[in-house]
A = this chain, B = another copy of it.
Amino acid sequence: MTEREPARGPEQRKQDVLDHLERDEDLWVATASADGVPCLVPLSFVLDRHTLLLATRRTNPTAVNVTPTGQVRVTLGHTRDVVLIEGTAEVVEGSDLPAESGDAFAERLGWDPRGRPAWVYLRITPHAVKAWREVNELAGRGLMVAGTWLV
- A38 partner, pick from B27, B32, B35, B82, beta carbons under 8 A: B32
Chain A residues touching B, majority SS = strand
List, in ascending order, chain B residues with CB within 8 A of A72's CB. 38
Residues of A within 8 A of B (CB): 1-2, 25-28, 30-42, 44, 65, 69, 71-75, 78-80, 82, 84, 110
Q: How far is the CA of A38 from the CA of B31 in the complex (A)?
A: 5
How many copies the complex holds: the figure is 2
CB-CB under 8 A for A36 and B32, given A26-B80, A79-B27: yes
Chain B residues near A2 (CB-CB < 8 A) = 110
- Decide yes or no: A73 and B36 within 8 Å by CB, A2-B110, A28-B79 being known contacts: no
How long is the Cα–Cα vector from A11 to B79 in the complex, in angstroms? 27
Q: Which B residues touch A110, using CB under 8 A?
A: 2
Docked pose: A32 CA to B33 CA in angstroms: 8
